[in-house]
Chain A
Amino acid sequence: MINTVLYIIVVGQIIFSLLAILRAYSGPTVLDRVVAMNVITTNVVIILLIFAFIDNSYYYIDVAFVFVLGSFIGTLCILKLLREGHII
């Protein structure tokens, strides 16, 4: 029963991530794309954690942690580039 629920949630997350990609493609400004990428990152992390429970191999949790850190630093770099015109 619990596996069925988790598969339903994973499929729903994938469908709504595709809808967020639609916003990232047709956003009028740059900040819309940044927000949409933030949402897609969150959905991907949740999908990774659910797969870690389904597959019963908990190394995916470490992968998700590194992914979260990378996306955080990436978003900060993009915002600094937009505000100041250079990163370093």
Chain B
Amino acid sequence: MVYEYVAIFFLFSGFFFLVVGVIGLIRLPDVYTRMHALGKCDTLGTGMVLIGLMLLVRDVTNITKLILIMAMIINPVVTHLIAKTAYNRGTPMVEGSYVINDYVASQRRRRKSQVESKLSQEGGENLK
């Protein structure tokens, strides 16, 4: 009996998070913000619904299958790839958004330090 009440709590919490994710998908203004809403709410909602089903099933074989499905469906890989594809294609952002590109900045810093070390090795007097 206690199992059923805990399972109902998990099922309704997961359903709430899934509903919040879909509302964010509909109302937010941008690709990136939509992914920001879905990547978290979808993961949490699916995990909680599957934990509730595991409490209801109570059979070792089916619980193993549900754990495998949970490991496959909670995929940050797909969300990361969608974000990278959107950034590389130059999908427009919403007005007034502020971007810090850490990857390009770190590449530029590394290249500058390499050039400086090469200059100091060859005795920078001649090259200047």
Contacts and interface: CB of A to CB of B under 8 A. Distances in A.
Contacts of B65: 58, 61-62, 65
B75 A72 contact: yes
Contacts, number: 111
Contacts of A82: 85, 89
A88 interface: no
Given A13-B15, A32-B34, A65 B68 contact: yes
A61 B72 CA distance: 13
Interface of B: 4, 7-8, 11-12, 15, 18-19, 21-22, 25-26, 31, 34-35, 38, 42, 46, 49-50, 53, 56-57, 59, 62, 65-66, 68-69, 72-73, 75, 78, 81-82, 85-86, 88-89, 91
